[in-house]
């Protein structure tokens, strides 16, 4: 078996330092389990702009397309806030998602037993929470045409973005979500605003058809996006898998992430379509941002990125066993009382980014 | 002084029964304070469809345009779920907002001291919460053209909605929000997605200009909508006034409402532009929906609608004193331990819709 190609894109802010901790795990896998990856590294976001004048250089994109999986840190920071829209760090992220065809963004919102108190919600409301939000990632309001700002004849300016989906885009994200629900508790909640937006009327119709024709074993429900935001706060445990439009998914998944109280713990996966050999392009990244305010201080929480790597092992490399080993190591280290600053609590031991990384390897 | 014209539109579900409680207060004002309104009543939503075949008849709209203020219950219910998109109950609500030009939707999220425990959030996170979300209500993704579902040459279907704002639409909602912030704690947070959506790049630019030219005394901050959803859960008390696009406002205001744990308590106001005499068209409605499941059981919470009437007295009729009397009566009745089912807690006295209404009048 040839070694799998893994492209690491640390990005900006704390991206670099959390990725160093993943490298430790990769080294451990080589030494202790004789599993070898062909690892290369590249630039994305502001750090790519500083070198190439663009947040995603063509070579980097080519490397990403050739890789078996991409592991990304985070992009953005005040240094690049005043750049023109087209070369802002975020454009690099949006471009790599779009060009790689990563239409299915999987965002688990999981509460770790050891961290249930970290939530601003009452412990009984969130303890044991385990939901999966499937966000459409290459369509919807983020990518629809026409878009832009124009000046009208009367001198006023007008801004436009377009929310649009075709049947096949909806069916493809729908299948990804139904498949996931099948592996979990067989309940899928599709979130739309079908009482107001025609685009999501189509979304709902296609989800219903899909359930009837291909997933009769999955219980499908529908919820308006405003109600979904409420229900996440009121009783998040009512959900198993949720599927929704790109912009809605951006908002709801961040809301769900914050319910757990420990954003620094949450990984995500972005997957493309399977090719003839069953391989899919994939990118893994923590849900948290680049946190430029704590960059270089060795206090960032590396666990979301480490867990993103575990997702990578599971979804891209079929290494369920190793993925679970990492997840268990994370749980045990938390149980042992180690905490980075963001999840620190009375009576626990505060550790640095690197000590947390080392501790995970030691636990492994 | 001629009597102010008040149009009452109970709508569907529990709308009718909660409005009966407002009538008690109107009667009390006539008897005890010699304040008389010219009250008329009309149909909207499903109940209008049942009679007129449309969720908002032209006569009703004409009555609304002629009124000094409109008080609305709620619309919708399973009975009308299968109606065509164009005559669904919600279209009546959207039409009356649009035709009356009610571009500024004010949604307070307030935690009543007596109810701080009702939230799913930890009491210290929400106690004393008092934020105001200003949602743009007649533009944005809800109303942009083109919209609809078309069939493509290849047989696929495609759904489209358009997010669009012009400079003047942004400035007008901006002023409404800045004015409110000036009367409160002088802090305005404008919520957008300017790192992705050009339409909201324009939004942000116009908000910045407005602050610089007309509101230098107000502190303006900006937040991406995904982060805003997180921050509402993490630390809602950081906010004073928030202003945002129609769809974002729909989601965030419902999220904020649920933070309070007592949706049945929250009123809202939708205001138009001031005319030459300083009068503005206005509609007041509770934030909660029509709750068809509890319709007719005399258990719905009438307080959100009663507080909407108080907002009406304040914003449309300059009766600040009477508005405060009602607000104080609500607080006192809660302090006295009376609760409708939705906000019931151990050790309190559960009362019906009508007993709650009577108790408010008695307290007045
Ligand atoms: C950085 C930004 C463009 C991005 C998004 O909006 O998709 C981020 O918020 C996310 O959710 O991954
Ligand atoms: C009923 C629906 C059309 C409406 C909206 O989306 O505006 C409601 O959710 C609201 O927030 O008032």
**Model confidence pLDDT, tens digit, residues A174-203:** 999 999 999 999 999 999 999 999 999 999
pLDDT in tens, B179-236: 999 999 999 999 999 999 999 999 999 999 999 999 999 999 999 999 999 999 999 9
Residue the block writes with tokens 């901006």: B174
pLDDT of B93 above 80? yes
Annotated binding site of A: 77-90, 97, 107, 135, 226, 250, 254, 289-301
Interface mutation target, options B144, B222, B226, B268, chain A, most CBs of A under 10 Å: B226
H-helix segments, B217-302: 225-234, 246-259
pLDDT for B1 beyond 70? no
pLDDT for B7 beyond 80? yes
Q: B247 and B176 in one domain?
A: yes
Mean pLDDT of chain A: 96
Q: Is residue A117 part of a domain?
A: no
Give the mean pLDDT of B318-326.
Answer: 96
Residues of A in contact with B197 (CB under 8 A): 141-142, 147, 159, 161
B195's CB contacts (< 8 A; 6+ apart) are A76, A88, A90, B224
Active site residues of A: 142, 193, 226, 250, 254
pLDDT band at A277 (very low <50, low <70, confident <90, very high): confident
CA B250 to ligand 2 center in whole angstroms: 7
Do residues A64 and A135 share a domain?
no
Cβ(B93) – ligand 2 distance below 6 Å: yes
A233 touches chain B (CB under 8 A): yes
Query: Is residue B11 domain-shared with residue B64, that is, in the same domain?
Result: yes
Q: Give the per-residue pLDDT at A1.
A: 60
pLDDT in tens, A314-351: 999 999 999 999 999 999 999 999 999 999 999 999 99
CATH number at A190 reads 3.40.718.10
For ligand 1, atom 3, the nearest C-alpha belongs to A90
Instruction: For ligand 2, say whether the CB of A196 is within 6 Å of any of its atoms.
Output: yes
Radius of gyration of chain B (CA): 20
| Residues B47 and B150 occupy one common structural domain | no
Cβ distance of A196 and B257 shorter than 8 Å:
no
Q: Is B250 a catalytic residue?
A: yes
| pLDDT above 90 for A2 | no
Q: Judge if the beta carbon of residue B230 lies within 6 A of ligand 1.
A: no
Q: How confident is the model at residue B278 (pLDDT cuts 50, 70, 90)?
A: confident
Q: In this structure, which residue's CA is closest to atom 8 in ligand 2?
A: B250
> Is B269 within 8 Å of chain A by CB?
no
Give, in order, the Cα–Cα distances in Å from B249 to each of A258, A349, B308: 19, 41, 19
Non-local (6+) Cβ contacts of B97 within 8 A are: B137, B138, B270, B283
Same domain, B144 and B243: yes
pLDDT tens digits for range B151-182: 999 999 999 999 999 999 999 999 999 999 99
**Gap from A260 CA to chain B (nearest CA, Å):** 10
Interface of A with B in 296-315 (CB under 8 A): none
Q: Does the distance separating the beta carbons of B198 and A149 come in below 8 Å? A: yes
- The percentage of chain B sitting over the pLDDT mark of 70, rounded to a whole number, equals 100
- Is the CB–ligand 2 distance for residue B90 below 6 Å? yes
Ligand number, closest to the Cα atom of B142: 2
| Residue that terminates a domain, selected from A241, A259, A277 | A259
pLDDT score at B262: 86
CB–CB of B253/B104 below 8 Å? no
Residue of minimum CA distance from atom 2 in ligand 1: A90
Per-residue pLDDT band at A76 (split at 50, 70, 90) = very high
Instruction: Give the end of a domain, one of A220, A236, A259.
Output: A259
Residues of B in contact with A225 (CB under 8 A): 250-251
Compute the Cα dihedral for B299, B305, B307, B310 and give only its sign: negative
Q: How far is the CA of A4 from the centre of ligand 1 (A)?
A: 27
**Band of pLDDT at residue A9, cut at 50, 70 and 90:** very high
Chain A residue closest to B235 (CA)?
Answer: A120
Residues B246 and B271 in one domain: no
Q: Which of B250, B281, B284, B342 is catalytic?
A: B250
pLDDT of residue B2: 78
* Residue A168 included in any domain: yes
Classify residue A124: in a domain, yes or no. no
Is residue A122 a part of any domain in this protein?
Answer: no
Q: Do A166 and B156 touch (CB under 8 A)?
A: yes
Residues 6+ apart with CB under 8 A from B136: B103, B104, B105, B165, B169, B173, B243, B244, B245, B246, B249
pLDDT of amino acid A31: 95
CA distance B237 to B127: 9
Distance from CA of B269 to the nearest CA of A (A): 18
Does a structural domain hold residue B115?
A: no
A87 and A200 belong to one structural domain: no
Pocket test for ligand 2, best of B94, B98, B292 (most atoms within 8 A of CB): B94
Residue A121 domain-assigned (yes or no): no
Token look-up 């008390």 returns B237
A118 falls within a domain: no
Give me the pLDDT at residue A348, please: 95
Integer Cα distance of B311 and B326 in angstroms: 10
Among B259, B287, B319, give the residue marking a domain's end.
B259
In which residue are the tokens 């009984």 written? A124
Q: Is position A114 within any domain?
A: no
Q: Does B171 touch chain A (CB under 8 A)?
A: no
Q: pLDDT at residue A84 above 90?
A: yes
CB distance A226 to ligand 2 below 6 Å: yes
Arithmetic mean of pLDDT, B245-273:
96
- The total domain count for chain B is 2
**For helices B353-363 and B303-315, what crossing angle results, to 10°?**
40
**Residue span of the structural domain in which B27 resides:** 1-110+263-364
Instruction: Quickly state the pLDDT bin for B254 (edges 50, 70, 90).
Output: very high
Residues A145 and A254 in one domain: yes
Domain co-membership, B203 together with B160: yes
Same domain assignment for residues A103 and A195: no
Q: Are residue A268 and residue A350 in the same domain, yes or no?
A: yes
* B159 lies in the same domain as B212: yes
Give Cα separations from B198 to A84, B161, B193 (angstroms): 12, 15, 8
Nearest CA-CA distance, residue B193 and chain A, Å: 9
Confidence at residue A278, expressed as pLDDT on a 0 to 100 scale: 83
Ligand 1 atom index nearest CA of A76: 1
B 47-86 → A contacts, CB under 8 A: 76, 85
Cβ A161 vs Cβ B163: under 8 Å: yes
Inspect the interface and report whether the beta carbons of B76 and A195 lie closer than 8 Å.
Answer: yes
Tens of pLDDT, residues A279-301:
899 999 999 999 999 999 999 99
Residue A3 CB less than 6 A away from ligand 2? no
In tens, the pLDDT along A98-133 reads 999 999 999 999 999 999 899 999 999 999 999 999
B128: left (phi over 0), alpha (psi -120 to 50) or beta: left
């Amino acid at each position: 078996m040839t070694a799998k190609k893994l492209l690491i894109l640390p990005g900006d802010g704390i991206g670099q330092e959390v990725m160093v901790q993943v490298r430790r795990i990769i080294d451990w896998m080589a030494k202790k389990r004789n599993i070898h990856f062909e690892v290369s590294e590249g630039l994305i976001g502001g750090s790519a702009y500083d070198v190439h004048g663009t947040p995603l250089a063509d070579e980097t994109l080519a490397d990403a397309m050739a890789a078996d999986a991409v592991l990304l840190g985070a992009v953005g920071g005040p240094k690049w806030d005043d750049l023109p829209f087209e070369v802002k760090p975020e454009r690099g992220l949006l471009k790599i998602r779009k060009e790689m065809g990563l239409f299915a963004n999987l965002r688990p919102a999981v509460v770790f037993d050891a961290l249930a108190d970290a939530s601003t919600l009452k412990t009984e409301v969130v303890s044991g929470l385990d939901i999966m939000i499937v966000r459409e990632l290459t369509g919807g309001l983020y990518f629809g045409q026409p878009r832009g700002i124009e000046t009208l004849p009367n001198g006023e300016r007008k801004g436009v973005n377009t929310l649009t989906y075709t049947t096949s885009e909806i069916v493809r994200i729908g299948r990804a979500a139904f498949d996931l629900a099948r592996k979990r508790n067989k309940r899928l909640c599709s979130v739309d605003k079908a009482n107001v937006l025609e685009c999501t009327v189509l979304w709902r119709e296609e989800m219903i058809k899909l359930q009837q024709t291909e997933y009769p074993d999955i219980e499908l429900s529908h919820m308006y996006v405003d109600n979904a935001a409420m229900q996440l706060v009121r009783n998040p445990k009512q959900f198993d898998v949720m599927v929704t439009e790109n912009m809605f998914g951006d908002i709801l998944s961040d809301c769900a992430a914050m319910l757990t109280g420990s954003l620094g713990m949450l990984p995500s996966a972005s997957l493309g379509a399977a090719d003839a050999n069953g391989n899919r392009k994939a990118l893994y990244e923590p849900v948290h941002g680049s946190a430029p305010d704590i960059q270089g201080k060795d206090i960032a929480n590396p666990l979301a990125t480490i867990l993103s790597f575990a997702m990578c092992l599971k979804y891209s490399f079929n290494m369920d066993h190793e993925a679970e080993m990492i997840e268990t190591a994370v749980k045990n280290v938390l149980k042992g009382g180690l905490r980075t600053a963001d999840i620190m609590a009375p009576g626990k031991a505060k550790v640095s980014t690197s000590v947390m990384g080392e501790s995970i390897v030691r636990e492994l």
